[in-house]
Structure 1
Amino acid sequence: MLFRCLSSQAQLLTLAAFLGLSACSRSSSPATSGTEVSPLQSTFNTDWEFVRDVDTTMGPSLFVRADKSKSWATVMLPHTPRLEPVVTAEKQWQGISFYRRFFRVSAADTSRRVAIRFEGAMNEADVYLNGRRLMRHQGGYLPFTVELTPYLQVDAENCLVVKLNNQDNQAIPPGKPLKDLDFNYYGGLYRPVQLLVQDPLRITDAVEAARPAGGGILLHYENASAQQATLHIQTEIRNGHRTARPAKLRTVVLDADGKEVASTTTDAPLLTPGGATSVKQTFSLASPKLWSPSQPYLYRVQVAVLDEKGNSVDQQELTTGVRTIRFAPDGFYLNGQKTRLRGTNRHQEYPYLGYALSDEMQYRDAWKIKEAGFNFVRCSHYPPSPAFLQACDALGLLVMNSIPGWQFFGDAAFQRNSLQNVRDMVRRDRNHPSIVIWEAALNETDMSKPFMDQAHQAVHEELPFPTDVYTCGWMDYAYDVFIPARQHAKAPDYWHKYNKQKPILLCEYGDWEYYAQNAGFNQTAYSGLKESERTSRQLRGQGERALQQQALNFQEAYNDNFVGPAIGDANWLMFDYKRGYAPDIESSGVMDIYRLPKFAFYFYQSQYGPVPDALGFGKPMVFIASYAQPTSSRQVRVYSNCSEVELQLNGRTLARQQPDKDRYSNHLAHPSFTFTLPKFTAGTLKAVAYQNGKAAAEYTQRTPGPAHHIQLTFDKSGRELTAGRQDAVFVYATVVDAQGTPVPDATSAIQFAATGNAELLGDNPVKAEAGIATTLLRAGSTPGAVSVTATASGLPDAKLELRSVKPQ
């Protein structure tokens, strides 16, 4: 998020005294896309104190810094109440926790509006200031703002306390007790917090304003094309002064290079004390660059409130993409072009940290989804972090935003909260160009028709536009688009014969039908496989054959989804994750919980390209889905987005051939390539992919030898390790042979150590899985050099040098 400092030095010094910060404090996140915030604010994520599992009585001692009755720990946000084991019979932590923050306010700031905004507080939050409870908020996935101004102590220490309860509560979606839930919701202040210090004459917040199609800034395009687009901007201004105030609204649209392409200044009606008004502005953009997955072009919109002297007293900046969407029974149309939705599902969980991800970690997840070849992601089964949506805007990922819910339909209180989730989700996220559809439905839940009607209507009331607004639900009622899972229908036809005049999008596939319903009913070749062999739930450590089976399952299902009217699909799923109802990892991800790819990752990557998009994704690629071991199959499957592949063994060409034409490939844009080896021969397999007769990509797989040493790498995925943000990266210790080939059957216990301003999180030592042990490295408060070492019995030590950087 980009924020600007006030031009008045006096105001800056007042703010500095208030926050205890430098005179010009500005956030370090990327430019906001859809999420609206104040120009003057602190991220307010440092110097918190935390305690859990203590007496829940809200006594006076909670608000006294000198209190020694509880073991307060100093923490930064985002924060998780407990580092959770990756696999354990013990359930994740649930209970009561407290966060508190001391701060001071100068007398000069009493004329300003002071509030605090929580992006995510799980799951029920009671907010207190100086012993007074100001708000109770129910729901852990969407933001809320608390007004502090009337209750502040001037020239004295204030104490803000947040009491959090993430125990089961059937009134708060998802509602289902954690022990029965198919995902985990964690605890804590797990998303950023902002302290807002605003002029009383200000732009409102859409969620806080709580008015249909109101509050904050609302963008909408009409008649958008490559020739012209009409941009409508509605901005709500509130007057918190005790007297009426005139105001103007100055709005500027900038292109990606910062060049002004449109601007206007509009008089607002005279604002009565405490009154609010919406100012509408219209812009004509000539020859706009359209936003799409292949070219996610973003404009910047700057909106400033001017007082009667022409001074800017409040301003916000957000990014926007010019695009049109249309869902029809015959397809999804983006900017008038029929576009197949090629998607995945994503849970936001990390090992150890649960939900407490930095903005950079959110970006890296989006990067991996794009890198895997997907153009679409479903936010299963709750609204994601605004930072993830901003990354989708920037990287070019189409998004289905979803309310919290899974197989549970609660009482009237639950339904009220769920419908409020629908509205708050739309209000928070309505300006993101990446969001093309709203899942205003409870996943796999037997909802009532009145509830579905209200949820569908709520989206359209919040976005009252004749085009570009679509709802969806897993039941074929009320919603604009029908989104069943593949397994919700029976084999072998599934949804091939769906003939209603409604778009159908398969929101899950590739897992359950191979796990629990006589997997492979569609494939006679599977008849001899054991249930454990034909499932898509395969850990990386389960071996080559398991990973090949998972990849084949996804390929078979994805290919089959092209039969019939489905306009696209989203596989289950991108990353392995933990569940409340089972102690093991749900392992149908195409990457594991540590974000390491399985073979299926490369199958999907092969379905994009081979012409790179504007960001470089979709380049020519080729991958050999084999470890080239004596136990490996003689049938070698190769994934590529090119037209021909040559397979060499120890420098000798075995074959150069066209893509497969089997039942698993006949509808694919880029079928796989299957080669048959005459016999096993140790050495080097090399695949060379050709496009237009020229070599375009190659991949080498050597037969692994004995373990020789460790290679250390870390996962960057478009973002450096960033200091002062609770940012963490995966560090991978790969056991390799003398030639540097990973040894996939290595299970060495690897001990990690780190020096510099950083810390290691989670298990240590870590047992290698499929030759790789993973640790999580979190940057400290200041940038600088960091060193990680890895040691294992019988192997030389390995060392990795990296640097954490300043926030962007």
Structure 2
Amino acid sequence: MRTEWSMDADWRFFRGDMETAWESGFDDSGWEVVHLPHTVRVEPAHCSGGVNYQGAAWYRRHFYAPRESDGKKLFLHFEGAKHTTEVWVNGQRLGIHYGGYLPFTFDITDCVHADGKTDNIVAVKLDNSDMPDVPPGRPQSELDFCYFGGLYRHVWLLETDKLHMTDAIHADKVAGGGLFVTYPSVSEEEAVVDVAAHVQNEYATGAECKVRARLIDDSGVTISREDSIPLAIPPHGDATFRLQLVIDSPRLWHPDHPHLYKLETEIWQDDALVDKTVTGIGIRRFRFDPQEGFFLNGNHLKVNGANRHQEYVYVGDALPDSLHRRDAIKLKQAGFNFIRLGHYPQSEAFMQACNELGLMCVVPVPGWQWFRDNGTFRSRSYQDVRDMVRKDRNHPCVIFWEPILNETNYDEDYARTTYAIVHEEYPGDQCYAACDISRPAWESYDIVYAHHNLSVPAHKVSFKREFGDNYREQFGPQKTQNRCSRGDRDFYNGGEAAMLRSAMERLDYIDSHFGTAELAGFALWTGIDHNRGYMDNIAATGVLDLYRLPKFSYYMYSSQRQPAALSQATAVSSSGPLVFIASYWRVDGSETRDIIVFSNCDEIELTLNGRLLGRKRPERTYSGVPHPPFLFKDIAFEPGELAARGWIEGEYAASHKVRTARKPHRLRLEADHCGIDLIADGSDLIMVHVYVEDEHGTNVTDAYPSIAFRIEGPGRIVDDGDPRTGANPVTAEAGAGGVLVQATQEPGQITLHASSKGLESAVIRLASLPDRKQHIPGLHQHPPKGIIKYEADVTHKPVTYNLREFNLAFGKRVTASSEQSEYPASAITDSSLISSWRAAQGANTPQWLILDLDGDYDLTGCKIWWESDHTTYGYRVEVSQDGSEWVTMLEKEGTGQDIKPDALTASLVRYIRITVTAVSNGLPAIYLLGIYGMKAGTAR
């Protein structure tokens, strides 16, 4: 029979290269002891700009193979590793796998000592360096996400009989290998399930066997069973068995009711059970129509989704299953029914969560704005396309495939080949492949990505793969807030006003999308904020931030769900109806304000300090979205409690209230469980959110204190106390933040304390439960004494130039040759990308600003955030120590689309003069000035 052992526990790990670490006799006792999933290095929360580790790393695993395994097949299965993976077992090199996002398997039968006492050793060398011929291939310094590294997904040791069902990727057969389940006929009355099972005979003699398929419902009852006819398989041969199950009155898979069945597939030989697999399946059929959009099980359904990168704060891509599932839960709660897995296949845990929660998916091949016109890159990318289909073809959540390299200038041969591969690997009418409309051979594809406002021919299915983002915001200030933070102190402007504007702008998008019948679906960029390599600020595009704290857009999207669907999905949401007041109701200097309430209720009643302000139905200006917002205009501000109550069909359904916050008084901790237990396996993680509150328990959203954490019991704070990562202590953003807690291998009660100067501390208790996985035994691994310092980390490159705390200009005095009262010179040092300096009306160039650093500094660079993207500004930068003698550092032109700061080197500088020498249109105008360097005489 088949046995699967987890190989996740007790790996030896070394960051850097080691020449002989593959040898069995190599002494690894000085290496760290780690547990999988494991990141090659814990990184800062904001690790954009290429600061994450890239290079070699080694892992070694000691294990005993049971005596009962002798004479059986043994396979080592990796769910994923970054980016090249070279593997040895007991000193024997098994091979190398190229690519970090797809699983791979090695047959280790002939190099393992299966006697229950010999120390077998798996040695793994990883390398996540830039590799142009390994898709995605683009150098991280030019990449819109990060190449994190490590053994970041599970590793399994699989034992089977020599007569066994294969792994689809390892078997490497077109539209074959492993188990392949399809649904040729589906209705509410009857469904037909086709099962193809590939069986390998590795005995030296022939074997006759049959395959039995059994479908079991969620109550444990077998509702259908079929046996194949027996087949004789020659020695070292294989065969594919095909069976058909018929189910009366099936429970169909749908995002609102994601019913799953358990498919047991067994191999029988001479009345003996020799192998068995268990697979969760969902019965459904779908089609895309060019004029009417998407249909699931015969019913029209608008696909409303988001993109997701698999990254999590601090640990990169090394998420345990619990964090993958929590992400899926949060995205489902946000109102999405679809996830684009941008830009690569994602973990088995996330796919299973999508199956169970009802999140449809498109699976893309690894790729991002990079194509190498050579045989190596092509062949590896083609294999990626095959392997992604083989990996995810049985997941009911997958409704189409993306076999093209994202936003890439590949050639027509590549486009036609990848399209053909997808349909070869998944024959029939349930396979759809998508392509950007602007790319070669797009006419051949089943679904066309209709981005950039390009029209799609009437005979083609259209889909928006990314919307609701303005990528140009990273090049300079824009008149939009699609990218915004929860707080107002990051690179992208944020806070209450920015989040509301972002939510309303995205509401305009989806109102149009829902109202366009021929548009099959759309996916927001992105569901969750993420880091990236080519800019030193995060992509603040999510409805959730890095810590999985929601922005206002989260509630806008969630309000689009039908209350009935919400109430049915008890595993996803605690209640159906939603009411959310998109305001902090705090003092901001305005006497009145408009109040937006997001809700899926029929009517909303608004009260202030108990007084009724009005009762309204949704805004009629929105005709596409299922649930338009509620608008209460010109509400006079009065400190206190603003409350909204919602009704559905005349009955009270839900409420929400906000209260004017007073000064910070205390901290509060809240574990982000999402109904999932913390498991004591050494790698499981849970985010604990911390909130700054006033004495009445109101979140103080303009508080940014430093918060320190202390832990007791069988748990650890991820990268506790390391100033490089800043994981503890943390600085709250807009009155909230988070700390990542990891369980040890000992179950029990974990106590977490939070403290901050001048505030009442907080405490929370967490329980970690015993690990029930079946682990392969091995020699006990004792951790080394002390902390290991890696030579590979010496060249750490800090991110500085866009963070406010590194901007020497912030808060400093500035004067100008002229200014307008509404646009003063002081605006360029206030850290806000809303306020700006403008020269006086009618002023001619040149116009100048002089910044006083109030001390002597050695400078390394400056950045000017010009007000207009479409204006060219000629400018000169000069420096001085005394304010009278000036040295010109640079003279050039710029626009609001400039990305990088200007590099300059100057010592003993107190004054900086920016002179605008010419303007192509309008007045000289600057949002913000950044000056970078350090105090003169500071040791580097």
TM-score by length of 1: 0.90
Verify the 8 A CA contact 1:560 1:667 in the aligned structure 2: yes
User: Which amino acid in 2 is paired with 1:545?
Assistant: A
**Residue 721 (structure 1) aligned with residue 678 (structure 2):** yes
CA drift of 1:66 comes to: 3.7
Equivalent residue in structure 1 for 2:245, among 271, 275, 283: 283
Other-structure match for 2:799: none
Aligned residues: 743
Other-structure match for 2:737: 773
**Residue 635 (structure 1) aligned with residue 589 (structure 2):** no
Verify the 8 A CA contact 2:515 2:625 in the aligned structure 1: no
Other-structure match for 2:391: 428
**Residue 41 (structure 1) aligned with residue 41 (structure 2):** no
Verify the 8 A CA contact 1:77 1:191 in the aligned structure 2: yes
Other-structure match for 1:615: 569
Structure 1 residues 725 and 377, CA gap change in structure 2 (3 angstroms): farther
**Residue 566 (structure 1) aligned with residue 566 (structure 2):** no
Runs of 4 or more above 6 Å deviation: none
User: Which amino acid in 2 is paired with 1:130?
Assistant: N
User: Which amino acid in 1 is paired with 2:641?
Assistant: T
Verify the 8 A CA contact 1:484 1:508 in the aligned structure 2: no
Other-structure match for 1:99: 59
Q: Whole-Å Cα distance in 1 between the matches of residues 674 and 378 of structure 2?
A: 39
Verify the 8 A CA contact 1:250 1:266 in the aligned structure 2: yes
Q: Whole-Å Cα distance in 2 between the matches of residues 126 and 678 of structure 1?
A: 65
SS state of the match for residue 252, structure 1?
Answer: strand
Equivalent residue in structure 2 for 1:549, among 501, 525, 531: 501
* Residue range with higher mean Cα deviation, 321-330 or 408-417: 408-417
User: Which amino acid in 1 is paired with 2:157?
Assistant: L
SS state of the match for residue 350, structure 1?
Answer: coil
CA drift of 1:802 comes to: 1.8
Q: Whole-Å Cα distance in 1 between the matches of residues 471 and 119 of structure 2?
A: 59
Equivalent residue in structure 2 for 1:316, among 277, 281, 295: 277
Other-structure match for 2:709: 752
Equivalent residue in structure 2 for 1:538, among 477, 484, 496: 484
Consecutive unaligned residues in structure 2, runs of 5 or more:
489-494, 720-726, 773-940
Equivalent residue in structure 1 for 2:16, among 50, 53, 72: 53
User: Which amino acid in 1 is paired with 2:561?
Assistant: Y
Give deviations 1:277-326, integer Å, cap 9, x for gaps: 00111111111011101100001000111222x22111100011111100
Q: Whole-Å Cα distance in 2 between the matches of residues 373 and 106 of structure 1?
A: 48
Q: Whole-Å Cα distance in 2 between the matches of residues 67 and 606 of structure 1?
A: 54
Q: Whole-Å Cα distance in 1 between the matches of residues 41 and 27 of structure 2?
A: 25
Other-structure match for 1:186: 148
Verify the 8 A CA contact 1:251 1:265 in the aligned structure 2: yes
Q: Whole-Å Cα distance in 2 between the matches of residues 661 and 531 of structure 1?
A: 32
CA drift of 1:698 comes to: 0.4
Other-structure match for 1:23: none
Structure 1 residues 646 and 112, CA gap change in structure 2 (3 angstroms): same
CA drift of 1:500 comes to: 3.0
Other-structure match for 2:788: none
Verify the 8 A CA contact 1:514 1:536 in the aligned structure 2: no
Q: Whole-Å Cα distance in 2 between the matches of residues 777 and 151 of structure 1?
A: 38
Verify the 8 A CA contact 1:684 1:703 in the aligned structure 2: yes
Structure 1 residues 514 and 445, CA gap change in structure 2 (3 angstroms): closer
* Residue range with higher mean Cα deviation, 370-379 or 610-619: 610-619
CA drift of 1:612 comes to: 3.3
SS state of the match for residue 466, structure 2?
Answer: coil
Q: Whole-Å Cα distance in 1 between the matches of residues 263 and 346 of structure 2?
A: 23
**Residue 482 (structure 1) aligned with residue 448 (structure 2):** yes
Other-structure match for 1:21: none
**Residue 509 (structure 1) aligned with residue 471 (structure 2):** no
Give deviations 1:456-513, integer Å, cap 9, x for gaps: 1111111112x2211111233322101233xx2xxxxx35x53331110111111127
CA drift of 1:244 comes to: 1.0
Q: Whole-Å Cα distance in 2 between the matches of residues 514 and 650 of structure 1?
A: 43
User: Which amino acid in 2 is paired with 1:210?
Assistant: D
Q: Whole-Å Cα distance in 1 between the matches of residues 243 and 215 of structure 2?
A: 12
Other-structure match for 1:586: 539
Give deviations 1:378-416, integer Å, cap 9, x for gaps: 100000101101000000111111111111111321121
Q: Whole-Å Cα distance in 1 between the matches of residues 228 and 320 of structure 2?
A: 38
User: Which amino acid in 1 is paired with 2:320?
Assistant: S
Other-structure match for 2:352: 390
Give deviations 1:231-250, integer Å, cap 9, x for gaps: 11010111111111111212
User: Which amino acid in 2 is paired with 1:331?
Assistant: G
Verify the 8 A CA contact 2:50 2:140 in the aligned structure 1: no
Verify the 8 A CA contact 2:603 2:647 in the aligned structure 1: yes
CA drift of 1:782 comes to: 3.0
Verify the 8 A CA contact 2:754 2:762 in the aligned structure 1: yes
Structure 1 residues 375 and 107, CA gap change in structure 2 (3 angstroms): closer
Other-structure match for 1:743: 700
Other-structure match for 2:83: 123
CA drift of 1:256 comes to: 1.1
Structure 1 residues 375 and 154, CA gap change in structure 2 (3 angstroms): closer
CA drift of 1:109 comes to: 2.7
**Residue 452 (structure 1) aligned with residue 447 (structure 2):** no
CA drift of 1:90 comes to: 5.7
CA drift of 1:258 comes to: 0.8
CA RMSD in angstroms comes to 1.7
User: Which amino acid in 1 is paired with 2:509?
Assistant: A
Q: Whole-Å Cα distance in 2 between the matches of residues 226 and 319 of structure 1?
A: 20
SS state of the match for residue 364, structure 1?
Answer: helix
Structure 1 residues 648 and 135, CA gap change in structure 2 (3 angstroms): same
Verify the 8 A CA contact 1:171 1:411 in the aligned structure 2: no
Q: Whole-Å Cα distance in 1 between the matches of residues 209 and 134 of structure 2?
A: 40
Equivalent residue in structure 2 for 1:596, among 546, 549, 552: 549
CA drift of 1:641 comes to: 0.7
SS state of the match for residue 254, structure 2?
Answer: coil
Consecutive unaligned residues in structure 1, runs of 5 or more:
1-5, 7-38, 489-493, 518-529
CA drift of 1:584 comes to: 1.3
Other-structure match for 2:96: 136
CA drift of 1:532 comes to: 5.0
User: Which amino acid in 2 is paired with 1:447?
Assistant: Y
- 1:151-170 equivalence runs, <5 A: 151-153=111-113, 155=115, 156-170=118-132
Q: Whole-Å Cα distance in 2 between the matches of residues 305 and 42 of structure 1?
A: 20
Other-structure match for 2:426: 463
Verify the 8 A CA contact 1:627 1:702 in the aligned structure 2: yes
Q: Whole-Å Cα distance in 2 between the matches of residues 608 and 193 of structure 1?
A: 38
Verify the 8 A CA contact 1:505 1:566 in the aligned structure 2: yes
Verify the 8 A CA contact 1:514 1:553 in the aligned structure 2: no
SS state of the match for residue 510, structure 2?
Answer: helix
CA drift of 1:339 comes to: 0.5
SS state of the match for residue 687, structure 1?
Answer: strand
Other-structure match for 2:857: none
SS state of the match for residue 248, structure 1?
Answer: strand
Verify the 8 A CA contact 1:367 1:718 in the aligned structure 2: no
Q: Whole-Å Cα distance in 1 between the matches of residues 594 and 752 of structure 2?
A: 40
Other-structure match for 2:749: 785
Other-structure match for 1:253: 215
Q: Whole-Å Cα distance in 2 between the matches of residues 148 and 513 of structure 1?
A: 47
CA drift of 1:67 comes to: 5.0
CA drift of 1:141 comes to: 0.5
Other-structure match for 1:700: 657
Equivalent residue in structure 2 for 1:345, among 282, 286, 307: 307
* Residue range with higher mean Cα deviation, 104-113 or 313-322: 104-113
Structure 1 residues 236 and 709, CA gap change in structure 2 (3 angstroms): same
SS state of the match for residue 135, structure 1?
Answer: strand
Verify the 8 A CA contact 2:21 2:123 in the aligned structure 1: no
User: Which amino acid in 1 is paired with 2:278?
Assistant: E
TM-score by length of 2: 0.77
Other-structure match for 2:295: 333
Identity %: 37
